[in-house]
Structure 1
Amino acid sequence: MADLHDLPATALLALYRHGDVSPVEATRAVLDHIARWEPHLRATYALDPDSALQQAQASEARWRRGEPRGLLDGVPAMVKENIATRGTPTPLGTAATVLAPAMADAPPAARLREAGAVLLGKTTMPDYGMLSSGLSSFHPLTRNPWDLTKNPGGSSAGAGAGAAAGYGPLHLGTDIGGSVRLPASWCGIFTLKPSLGRIPIQPPYAGRVAGPMTRTVADAALMMRVLSQPDWRDATSLPAQDIDWDALEIDPRGLRLGLQLDAGWGMALDGQVRAVIEDAARRFESAGAIVEPMPAFMTREMADGMDRFWRMRSWLDISALPAERRERVLPYIRDWVASGAELSAAQVFHGHGQMAAMRDAAVAATQPFDFVLSPVAPCVAFAAEWASPLNDPQQPFEHIAFTLPWNMSEQPAASVNAGWNDAGLPIGLQIVGRRHDDLGVLRMSRLWERLRGEPRAWPRPPA
């Protein structure tokens, strides 16, 4: 049997059910593994081994009585730090935050706790979640377990790194422009950015979702059974639906798949990334799907408009801080927002409109297809110390051209490992579905796991 810290949640639950392993044993194994990795990776925040073991002991007692609390009882899990958990401060990745304990669990954390998951602690993120990076003014620098000189991506940085490194099977991140898919791609794990409203979240915002980050599609589907339960606190959440999240089989024969290799703007697509995605498309084709090129549908105007809108929003937030707190914000972020002071109301209003234009263009572009295949990112993981692949605050979003539109269009999109570059860095395949077809995206991702074959062995901590 594999080491306990490497087992997926589905396997752990089967072992609990038969009494072969206890939640305490699994939790101790994960905590010990984290202790070996964490001096190098720095992916955790508010890690609480004592609380985790208390939760595991309570779970063990429930399993002995044959009365597990829920679908995840006793499974180790971690939550991105911007998802509130009762009693823990939520710094939002920045030293500018005044720390105060959260009064209640946010909806996704509440669902995990209700289902009996053992919450080990939280995972790191950059300032305000505005970077695809493990760089933060509050947290230590988070690194990529495949290569410690590289970045895990972000903003769900610690979740991506931790899932790849074996910090328990279940991780929860958030995404507003690629923040679960980019670290999933660069850390070689699986994630689903669900349809907007599928997983209730607090606070809601245009394009903002929570999503499972795991090593397997089956574990993500298990999490979706729990996380998609309704919560009145998110006024944008979808009505509850009876979705069979366990039904992960799909027949690819005759499915029409769009292959997008040109995002219409942003960084040029790396040649090795292109080759891996094209190989994935050929494998789907060999399985009976019909693969057709999908032309670019986004424009530079859309991207720049969104940039101006987000810049103004962040400038208003940061400029309202007292001067001493404002100076604690990561300099890269301060440089990015500074030009917000110069933007006119007309520019910001136009920028907001471009988010709607992006949505309409994305929905229209996907109508001829059942699913869309694309890279997650145009490049592989970059230097650990950098804030973004270009490390230029005046070009902060050039790497999110393939991920951003699906947040604005509210469509589900997954990242699943598709291969590796010559340096051994992971490359993610993005699978996009029509609005609300989250199960379809999971099914296509599970099919890809089979077409891809066995993944590489997961990274191990330095000796």
Structure 2
Amino acid sequence: MRQTAQDLSATELSAAYAAGLDPREVAESVLARIAEREPVLNAFYVHDPDQVRRDAEASAKRWASGTQLSAFDGVPATVKENIPRAGVPVPSGTALANPPVAAENAPVTDRMLEAGLVLLGSTTMPDWGMLSSGVSSRHGITRNALDPALTTGGSSAGAGAAAAAGYGPLHVGTDIGGSIRLPGTWAGLATLKPSAGLVPLHAPYLGRAAGPLARTAADAAALMSVIARPDVRDYSARPYPRMDWFAGPANPSGLRVGLQLNAGSGAEVDPQIAAAVQRAADLFAAAGARVRELPPFMTPEQLAGIDAFWRTRSWADYSALEEGQRENVLPYIVRWCAGGRNYDGVATMVHYHRFAQVQQATIAATRDFDLVLSPVAPMAAFPAEQPMPIDDPDRPMAHISFTMPYNMSGQPAATVNCGFMADGRTIGLQLAGPVGADDRVLAAAAWFETVRGDASPDWSRVP
């Protein structure tokens, strides 16, 4: 498939707009791609082509008059459905009747509109964001753009599908244990779970972050330049020094790099995935990085405790529903969260304290490194119809032991494709760094993209 307007990166579109390309032409190209692929992929919860055309026309007029709102005015983008847009219902993936309607935009939405981005719509997620797939009681199944038989990952399921399919270059998801990075590894994307409080949230929660999913690290950085701006509505926000999102690839010579191939809990890493991550680490070493092994630092008890706390939280949400509404929640979610109904207050507090234990362990284990390389997940993409990679709601989540620690520690963690399984499924490399090193982490990911060779996704072959 030849490259068309919707395949251009955000930076390429910015330069093209400045040189005279009409944002309306790009919008029509993206809308055509969406119309072609959306019946199979099911990436959107809300998508209004007429509104997209109106917003693209407004952008075209601004560029024509020299009043563009930012360098990325007119660039197509999406937001996950749990990121509020004023007047749009927020069902969070569930088929519950009468979902709440957002009274105002989330900070992320405001930043994107202030920059003139053309919002294509709100992307899908599974029920309450508690599945790592695109299975939803409201939306049905969201599928992987690289192979619709496979999951796109979750809970930022629609964002992952949209990014891989070429629905424009910029997509925002949310992440509480891996929900940005898991679609990254299973769809060959570049993503970032930012440092805690760097991207303002409308509803802060322990470990939650919002961040970019894109085809390249440069596009992820471009989106961060838009959304990583303070907002007083996020009471958990932290002040960070100014970051250089446009520095480009950074040679890793001299960096202290940890290599973690064993998380200490969860599922065993597939040997093909371990080999791909090892090859990536070898490239860093060949470029002068000082690579050494990082031993496991999270225990099975910590993973089980955090899983149990999330079950209790979701059981409280489920129990608050009216009797007639409960049948609308995905049965897998009901079975999973029912595991939390019998924990008393003491047990719940024990589970809650696991978060701090993981935070402490992660900071302590990684403090001597500039960068930590690891798999994103221990397994490759699984069938699209399957709610979780290990299809047993009674077991703790066995696939988040590499990703979830960085939610708890507040450290930035990016992903980039680093190889392929023998059957062609993508393999993601996670790159984590110290709190506040988001721009440097993305610069390292961008450097890896320049040396990974045949580990690069061939986007021209996306159906």
Is residue 2 from structure 1 mapped to residue 3 from structure 2 by the alignment?
Answer: yes
1:107-118 mapped onto 2 (5 Å cutoff): 107-118=107-118
Structure 2 letter corresponding to 1:94? T
Structure 1's 97 and 408: CA in aligned 2 closer, same or farther, altered over 3 A? farther
| 1:277 equivalent in alignment to 2:266 | no
Task: Confirm or deny that 1:148 pairs with 2:148.
Answer: yes
Please state how far the C-alpha of 1:82 moved relative to its aligned partner: 0.4
1:169 maps to what in 2? Answer: 169
- Residue type matched to 2:41 in 1? L
Superposed counterparts of 1:94-109, under 5 Å: 94-96=94-96, 98-109=98-109
- 1:136 lines up with 2:159 in the alignment: no
SS in 1 for 2:141: coil
The residue identity in structure 2 corresponding to 1:449 is E
Amino acid in structure 2 at the alignment position of 1:118: V
| Other-structure match for 2:451 | 451
For structure 1, which runs of at least 5 residues remain unmatched after alignment?
Answer: none
Runs of 4+ in 1 over 6 A off after TM superposition: none
TM-score, normalised via structure 2 length: 0.97
CA displacement at 1:419 relative to structure 2: 1.1
- Which shows bigger deviation, 356-365 or 244-253? 244-253
Partner of 1:12: 13
Aligned letter for 2:4?
Answer: D
Task: Give CA-to-partner distance per residue, 1:159-205, whole Å, 9 cap, x none.
Answer: 01110010111100000000000001100011000001000011000
TM-score (norm 1): 0.97
Contact 1:221 1:442 in 2 (8 A): yes
**Equivalent pair of 1:5/1:30 in contact (CA under 8 Å):** yes
Equivalent-residue separation in structure 1 for 2:165 and 2:252 (angstroms): 32
1:336 corresponds to 2:360:
no
Which residue type is aligned with residue 326 of structure 1? Answer: R
Contact 2:417–2:457 (CA under 8 A) maintained in structure 1: no
Q: For each residue in 1:21-49, what CA deviation from the matched residue of structure 2 results, as whole angstroms up to 9, or x when unmatched?
A: 21000011001001111111111111110
AA of the residue aligned to 2:85 = T
SS where residue 242 of structure 1 aligns? coil
CA contact (8 A) 1:191 1:214 kept: yes
How far 1:249 moved relative to its partner?
A: 3.9
- 100 and 360 in structure 1: CA distance in 2 versus 1, 3 angstrom threshold: closer
Instruction: Give the match's secondary structure for 2:155.
Output: coil
Superposition pairs of residues 48-63 of structure 1, within 5 angstroms = 48-63=48-63
How many equivalent pairs are there?
461
Summarize the alignment of residues 70-81 of structure 1 with structure 2, pairs less than 5 Å apart: 70-81=70-81
The residue type equivalent to 2:134 in the other structure is G
CA offset at residue 87 of structure 1?
A: 1.6
How far does residue 284 in structure 1 lie from its aligned partner after superposition? 0.6
- The one-letter amino acid of 2:219's match is D
Quote the residue 2:222 is aligned against: 222
- Give the 5 Å matches for 1:218-297: 218-239=218-239, 241-297=241-297
Instruction: Check if 1:380 corresponds to 2:380.
Output: yes
In structure 2, distance between residues paired with 1:282 and 1:460: 28
User: CA separation in 2, counterparts of 1:337 and 1:251?
Assistant: 45
Unaligned stretches of 5+ residues in structure 2: none
Corresponding letter in the other structure for 2:6: H
Task: Note the 1:349-360 alignment, pairs <5 A.
Answer: 349-360=349-360
Q: Distance in 2 between matches of 1:294 and 1:97?
A: 48
Distance apart, 1:71 and its partner CA: 3.3
Q: Residue type of the partner of 1:139?
A: H
Partner of 2:459: helix, strand, or coil? coil
Q: Which residue of 2 aligns with 1:316?
A: 316
Partner-residue secondary structure (3-state), 2:340? helix
Structure 1 equivalent of residue 370 of structure 2: 370
